[in-house]
Amino acid sequence: MHADPDCIFCKIVAGQVPARKVHECDDLVAFHDIAPWAPVHILIVPKKHIVSMAQVGVDHQAMLGRMMMLAPKLMHDLGVTGGFRQVINTGVDGGQEVNHLHMHVMGGPRPWRKG
């Protein structure tokens, strides 16, 4: 599996940096965001290092589908019943802060609206 030794998410995937994981399977890991914007704020991250959505290809379709399907399951498991947001920031102008593809999944009672 491709990894970037300087990437914080790759280090979490490798177990070198601790995280409050809520899911792990062959190709994805999900964990609580360390700077949450909502009462429940998790990140779903591919284990393979992919910089952003700008670098995905047809070979990533199944993994992206699993990310999308995992979000509602995890929100349900974490007690979010009133709705949630799924956000993927891409590139500097898109607000991406970590150069490893990841999806923010945020839910829980408002007022957590930041953007």
CA distance 99 to 91: 8
**In 3D, which of 47, 45, 33 has the Cα closest to residue 106?**
33
Q: List active site positions.
A: 102
**Partners of residue 23 on adjacent β-strands:** 30
Residue 67, H or E segment = helix 61-77
